[in-house]
Structures are given as C-alpha cells and as structure tokens.
C-alpha cells in the first residue's frame, strides 16, 4: 500500500493542434518475462507508479472568430451555462440549440468579458445561459453562430445520478488518460475540487487547458472550485491583477444562484434536488465571522433532508490527511467549519491538493464517528508536479485512514436512491482503468441514530 519513491523526470512539453487532440494510450509498464520450459501458474506483477506525464500544450486551429475552449456548467434546476473564448474581439454571445443535429429550435443571448494580466490580454470570454432544458436529454448546440456543432446531455430529473470526480488535473499525458477513463463510462456531472490548468500566472496555459479539456467539458457539465494554483495573486502594486481573476472570469459557476456573495464558493443540486453539492473555498475567509461561514450556515440550514437525502461537500485543501505533502494546511479551516458539516450530517467530503488517493472512515473532530462524513482525498487527476508518495505510517490519523495510494486516477459516486450510493476509485493502470477502492454508503438522513440533536462524539471501530 505504501509506494517506494520513484525517480521523477522533469515534465516535457508536447504541442498538439486542437483538432488532432485525442486521448493517447500510455505505453505499458508491466513487464512479463517468459521463461522457456517453466510453467508459471500465475504472475504477481507489482504496479509501477508513473512519473509525471509530459505537458500537452494544445494549440488552436480555429479562425479567430470561431469558438474554442467550450465548456458547460449547471445553472439552477433546468438551465446550463455555455462558456467559450474567441480570439477575435468581435463575435456574438449567442447559443443556438435543439434536439436534432443542425436543427436549432431555440436561441439564447448572453454576455462577454475579458481580462488583463500584466502584459497578457485574454480573448473574448462568452457566457450564455440556455434553457429551460429537459432532463436526461441530448442537445445539439452551436456557439456564436459559427464553427463546430457540439452536443451536451443534461442530468436526470431524479435518482440515480452518476457524479465523476477528478482533482488537480493539469494538462499532461496522465490528465488525458484520466479524462479518457472518465468518459469511457457515461456520467452526468464532473466535479473538480480545485487546481485546473496549473497556469501559475502563465496566462496562455489557461488557453491551452481550455482547448485540452474541450472534448469532455463541452459534453457534460463541469462544476469546479478553486485550488491554490488558481490564486495567481499579482504584486501589491496599483493596477496589479486581483487574485483568481483568470479562474473566475473563465470558469463562471452559479454562486449568485445559490446566494453566495463570492465566486469562490457556492452550491447546487442535481437529480431533482436529491443531491445537494456544496463547493467550498479553501482560499477564501472561513472563520466564524467570515462571509463564507455565514453563507455555509444558511445554505446548509435550507436543506430539507426529507427531500434532499444526500449532502456532498468539495474543497481543495484536505481536512484529514496522513501524507507529508501539505500536512496541516486544512487544519484551520477544519477547526472553523467542521461542526457545521457534522451538524448538517454531510455524507461525504472530497478534497484535492495532495497528489494521491486517501479514504478515511466516518470522522468528526479527529475521531471515528458514525454520524460524521466520509473524507476522501482525490488530488490525483494527472498534474505536472507528480505524485505524493510520503504517507506516514505512524501519523496520528493513520488509525482512521482505510485506504491510501499514490497513483493517478479518478472517482465515481453513483447515488442510486435515497439511502444508498456506491463509491469507486479507479486507478490509471496504463491504458486501462482499474477499480482499486470501493464501498457502499448509506445516507446519514436514513440513519435513525444520526437524527438526534446531539449524537455522542465517542469513537467507533467499524468502517462506517
């Protein structure tokens, strides 16, 4: 379970035309030796954890007026936001759409914006909200009245619903592998707990990332929250860029619709309100006097667990972590906000930041508790920095950690009905995706013992 540290080579760059961009098969790393005359009943091949993949810089092959970096996100119960960029400063912020290819029976007009980051000037960034849309339906759409046709599928109106998760993505060969594995099986929404482009102030990397993920992000809604690589704070000088300017301008999420005063945290619902998802901001104020704390308290208080049996939370810096990487970075936020999540009976909390996979038992206040959330770190999407190998066997939380592995991969939360969900973590085994961890979850709203106002905080030894 505890990987040996492997040699990590510096990431190399691959320039790829956008139209030629396809997920690549990764060369096999398993070695099987055939010894003539020796019959082996079985071969136990140890998995070789990969170094960082090469960075893929996806160039645009579109005319300046044509849409690129197309992605969609959820807005309310039956609307979706279509976002894209054009290099030309002119163009229409219009989306035409319908249920048949080339037959656009509806049209919506939105808005456009742009930003500057020192000497960099972004293209024209368009955001258009379309709808009302029917649930579980494929729509064909075209942006700006020019260019390619895209398709999207809306989430279902009721359970079951499939939520895919991939954190700390970047734009490497391993990111391509992760997203290819995500798309091999249908899903309804992709959740990203921070660290998207790894631009780190190099603004053209936001453009290459948008083109890199377009194939996937234009087909299903991507709901994201910020990580440390989104901060991009300028120098403390007049006219310097404000933090998060690229992230909030390009990846607009429905914070206003959820009553949030900030683009750095928000909530939304899927499956007709059966699942309430809260996206917290690890890099926004979070103490008891902060706007985020007040908003979270109000947001959770509005959730009726009879109508919304599932509560899911995402944030970037994990509150529970036995890896030496980023040790303790989420502790202050945990101390400030954990009680809100516990009292609301949040079912599961996903985080990123640590480039590995780790799953804890149900926890509250550093102790196993059957009424606390399951905490899962999934910061293993494929980033350029490599994996976090240094899990600490003697960590004070090791007794609560049930599964940990430093490998690239993604997760899937299949919410089947009001009481039952299945979680599975898929490791990127070369060209294949292998389930390495899974469990069944019972919604805390269905657990009679957890409906008490003040459940005991004593320790429990069972997994759930």
For helices 204-217 and 173-184, angle between their N-to-C axes, nearest 10 degrees: 20
Q: Is 126 a catalytic residue?
A: no
| Catalytic pick among 112, 126, 326, 426 | 326
Q: What is the dihedral of CA 130, 133, 135, 136, to 10 degrees?
A: -70
Q: What are phi and psi of 301, to 5 degrees?
A: -65, -25
- Angstrom distances, CA of residue 100 to CA of 145, 157, 207, 286: 16, 21, 30, 46
The Cα 15–Cα 248 span in angstroms is 26
Q: What are phi and psi of 335, to 5 degrees?
A: -60, -35
Q: What are phi and psi of 312, to 5 degrees?
A: -125, 135
Residues contacting residue 388 through CB under 8 Å, at least 6 positions apart: 323, 324, 325, 326, 354, 355, 356, 379, 406
Chain-centroid distance, C-alpha 223: 7
Dihedral sign computed on CA atoms, order 68, 73, 76, 78: positive
Residues contacting residue 128 through CB under 8 Å, at least 6 positions apart: 81, 82, 83, 93, 94, 95, 108, 109, 110, 111, 143
Residues that are catalytic: 326
């Amino acid at each position: 379970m505890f990987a040996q540290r492997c040699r990590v080579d510096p990431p190399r760059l691959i320039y790829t035309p956008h139209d030629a961009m396809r997920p690549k098969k990764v060369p096999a790393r398993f070695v099987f030796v055939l010894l003539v005359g020796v019959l082996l009943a079985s071969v136990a091949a140890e998995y070789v954890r990969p170094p960082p993949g090469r960075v893929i810089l996806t160039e645009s092959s579109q005319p300046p007026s044509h849409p690129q970096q197309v992605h969609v996100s959820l807005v309310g119960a039956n609307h979706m936001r279509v976002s894209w960029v054009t290099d030309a400063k002119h163009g229409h912020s219009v989306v035409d759409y319908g249920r048949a290819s080339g037959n656009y029976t509806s049209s919506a007009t939105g808005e456009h914006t742009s930003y500057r980051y020192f000497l960099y000037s972004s293209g024209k960034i368009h955001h258009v909200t379309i709808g009302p849309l029917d649930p579980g339906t494929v729509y064909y759409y075209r942006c700006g009245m020019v260019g390619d046709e895209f398709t999207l599928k809306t989430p279902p109106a009721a359970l079951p619903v499939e939520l895919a998760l991939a954190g700390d993505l970047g734009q490497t060969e391993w990111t391509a592998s992760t997203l290819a594995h995500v798309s091999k099986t249908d899903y309804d929404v992709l959740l990203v707990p921070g660290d998207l482009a790894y631009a780190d102030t190099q603004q053209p990397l936001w453009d290459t990332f948008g083109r890199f993920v377009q194939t996937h992000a234009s087909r299903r809604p991507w709901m994201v929250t910020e990580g440390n690589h989104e901060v991009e704070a300028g120098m403390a000088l007049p006219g310097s860029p404000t933090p998060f300017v690229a992230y909030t301008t390009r990846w607009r999420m429905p914070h206003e619709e959820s009553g949030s005063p900030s683009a750095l945290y928000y909530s939304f619902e899927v499956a007709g309100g059966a699942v309430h998802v809260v996206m917290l901001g690890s890099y926004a104020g979070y103490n008891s006097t902060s706007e985020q704390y007040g908003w979270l308290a109000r947001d959770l208080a509005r959730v009726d667990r009879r109508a919304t049996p599932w509560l899911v939370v995402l944030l970037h810096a994990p509150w529970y972590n036995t890896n030496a990487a980023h040790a303790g970075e989420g502790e202050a936020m945990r101390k400030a906000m954990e009680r809100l999540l516990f009292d609301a009976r949040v079912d599961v909390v996903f985080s990123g930041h640590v480039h590995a996979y780790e799953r804890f038992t149900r926890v509250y206040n550093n102790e196993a508790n059957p009424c606390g959330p399951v905490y899962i770190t999934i910061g293993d999407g494929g980033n350029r920095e490599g994996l976090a190998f240094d899990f600490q066997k003697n960590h004070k939380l090791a007794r609560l950690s049930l599964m940990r592995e430093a490998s690239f991969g993604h997760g899937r939360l299949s919410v089947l009905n009001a009481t039952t969900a299945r979680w599975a973590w898929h490791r990127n085994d070369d060209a294949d995706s292998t389930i390495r961890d899974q469990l069944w979850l019972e919604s805390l709203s269905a657990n009679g013992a957890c409906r008490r106002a003040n459940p005991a905080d004593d320790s429990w030894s069972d997994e759930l």
